[in-house]
Chains A and B, each alone.
Chain A
Amino acid sequence: MDPETEFLSSKRQTGNEWELFKENVRPLKRGRNVDLLNHALKAHTNDQLKKSLLENRRRLIEAIDEYQGDDPLQPWLDCIKWVQEAFPPGGDFSGLVLIYEQCVRAFWHSDRYKDDLRYLKVWLEYAEHCSDAEVIYSFLDANDIGNTHSAYYIAYALHMESKSKMKAANDILNLGISSNAQPIEKLRDAYKKFLARSMRRPNATEEELKEDDLPVRSFGTVLARGESQRQAIKTFELGRNKLKQDQVHRTPLSIYNDTNMDVMRGHHSKPSTGSNSWHTLGGRAERNKENNAMPAKWTSHKIPQRPVPRIVGAVASSQIEVFVDEECEEKPKVHDEKDRTSSLQLRELDGRNIKKETELLRENPLRNFPSNSLPR
């Protein structure tokens, strides 16, 4: 009997927490396991289950440190997948951004994983959580990571499209096609869709989109960024400007912000005046000033550990204990380690620190990377 027939005739039921709490669940591209999802949703109100969640996390973090096999990326992926399942809303308190960051940083200079699709996917997910992912895509480009995969070009081009950089998006997709990235059909198809969208663009105003009163079709709007950012394209470029510049102060327009995706915060720190001139060097140096000024190790940035009560924050419960402080050595898998990339240290952070770290990383995703790894 096939598994579906078997399930149907067994009269087993699936829990309905997923539907009851669906607003608290961030969809994942890869889909979710509904039993794990229901379990995680229940855990936020049930102490017994919460304990088992914490146990699991401890186990997975230990597994990363203790791994002896020949695919050190795997335990990281297990841990990432688990965090995604256990914290359905995602969000700044889940520590997801931190773990993406540590994972990509652990292997960025590894030849072994340059073309590994799984590794690329971690980067791409990290990029989706950042205010301005362009620096990530440039980094991948400069370090030859993932450039045999269509997913890289598609994500990069979508990002450029969201910034209305249509020529750049066009060039990126073409580059992918001429490099024969795989799977090539997917890339060609993405290019066709991109062309169709760019032809519609001059007419797509926000008013036009608002009149579309079909029931909201969430397919594609959370996960396929090109479509969802049609609405925000006009407002994206005029975000708040962090630099002390006396340029024309643009009033920040209200940017549609899906609470689960903070990528559209519009922290544009380039000193351009809105034309597309690239004051590249100045902008980058300014943006990466934390790295240039202090190329110190991650370990030296100790956030003062204050014994504050745990913050409730975005997650329903405040009692979830977070990363356990464990001193651990970086695996000797790293060969040419001229620059000490920071040892992997999952420190004890309370809810507020995870949130703070996450916010810092969102703004500057490569802040912990050694300065010589950054694209010029």
Chain B
Amino acid sequence: MASRTVAKDIITLRGSAAIVSEFFGYAANSILYNRGVYPEESFAKVKKYGLPMLLTQDEENEIVGKEWLEAGKLQRVVMVIMSKATKEVLERWNFSIETDSDVVEKGVSREKSDREIMREIQAIMRQIASSITYLPCLDEPCVFDVLAYTDTDVPVPFTWIESDPKLIANPQMVKLHSFDTKIHKVDTLVSYKNDEWDEQ
């Protein structure tokens, strides 16, 4: 069987944190765009991950700072879509993070092809855009919130406040692809409200 040598790149903790943090920014924008949370006009097209991606113009696009990631203290990032009128949680985009603690503690680095990481991220972005296949139509104005699950011993910047998890009762859940930098592994799950035909 033929073998293929894939050029590997060195991934450092900082580099990985940067990749993951950037991913969250683009993923959040993709969700905001595809789910119609912000109007189309607020987005501009950029090239990223080999795909046309969209970013909002006037907002800070770093969703989660890199410090938590570098410290290995970030466990999960959840993007919540809620009804503007009722604050009911309609969708949750759940990104769980596993960090290689060896890397954090000992400062070693890992090897993985950058292109492969990019392909993995690309697969997730494609799935986010395709999720309209099964997600309920959001036909009311919605608001967007980001929740970060961290270790308890982490100092919290003042821009974040304590919150309840804003869960959906009896959610439908779909697991999407993951990506792995060999230092941070990110799993993706989207959960949404069950069908409401039966609601009176």
Q: Do A and B bind each other?
A: yes
Query: Which A residues fall within an 8 A CB radius of B?
Result: 2-4, 7-8, 12-14, 18-19, 22, 25, 27-34, 37, 77, 81, 116-118, 121, 183, 185-186, 189, 213-215, 217-220, 222-224
Q: For A37, what are the chain B residues with a Cβ–Cβ distance below 8 Å?
A: 133-134
Contact A118 B134 (CB under 8 A): no
The interface residues of chain A lying within 8 Å CB-to-CB of B43 are 214
Q: Contact check: which of B40, B173, B195, B196 meets A4 at CB < 8 Å?
A: B173
A27 near B132 with CB under 8 A, answer yes
Query: Which residue of B36, B52, B127 is within 8 Å of A219 (Cβ)?
Result: B36
Of B20-28, B102-110, B164-172, the one touching chain A = B164-172
A219 to B137, CA, bound (A): 7
CB-CB nearest in chain B for A74: B198
B187 contacts the other chain (Cβ, under 8 Å)? Answer: yes
B133 and A8: CB pair below 8 A?
Answer: no
Chain A positions within 8 Å of B35 at CB level: 219
B200 and A31 within 8 A (CB): no
Q: List B contacts of A186 (CB < 8 A).
A: 85, 139-140
Residue of B nearest to A224 (CB): B139
For the complex of A and B, list the 5 residue pairs with the smallest distance between their C-beta atoms, beginning with the closest: A31-B136, A32-B134, A14-B175, A30-B195, A219-B36
Contact A34-B172, Cβ < 8 Å, known A8-B94, A220-B36: yes
Measured in the bound complex, the distance between the Cα atoms of B189 and A37 in whole Å is 17
The CA of A213 and the CA of B43, in the complex, are separated in Å by: 12
CB within 8 Å of A: which of B127-165?
127, 129-130, 132-141, 165
Query: At the interface, yes or no: B179 with Cβ under 8 Å from chain A?
Result: no
Within 8 Å by CB of A2, from B134, B167, B176, B192, lies B167
Contact A4 B127 (CB under 8 A): no
A-B pairs with beta carbons under 8 A, tally: 121
- Does the CB pair B130–A30 fall under 8 Å? no
CA distance A2 to B187 in the complex (A): 16
Chain B, interface size category, equals 35 or more
Q: Would you call B85 and A185 a contact (CB within 8 A)?
A: yes
* Most interface-central of B33, B173, B200 (chain A CB within 10 A): B173
Q: B54 contacts the other chain (Cβ, under 8 Å)?
A: yes
- A297 to B112 Cα, complex, angstroms: 71
Nearest chain A residue, comparing its CB with the CB of B35: A219
Give 7 pairs: A residue, B residue, CB < 8 Å, sorted on A.
A8-B94, A27-B135, A29-B136, A30-B195, A37-B134, A118-B200, A215-B129
Instruction: Given A8-B187, A30-B195, decide whether A215 and B134 contact each other with a Cβ distance below 8 A.
Output: no
CB distance from B50 to the nearest CB of A (A): 13
Q: Are A13 and B45 in contact (CB under 8 A)?
A: no
| A contact residues around B16 at 8 Å (CB) | none
Q: Tell me whether B34 is interfacial, beta carbon within 8 Å.
A: yes
CB distance from A129 to the nearest CB of B (A): 16
> Which of A2, A32, A219 has a CB less than 8 Å from the CB of B34?
A219
Contact partners of B45 in chain A: CB under 8 A: 213-215
Kindly list chain B residues whose C-beta atoms are within 8 Å of the C-beta of A28. Answer: 136-137
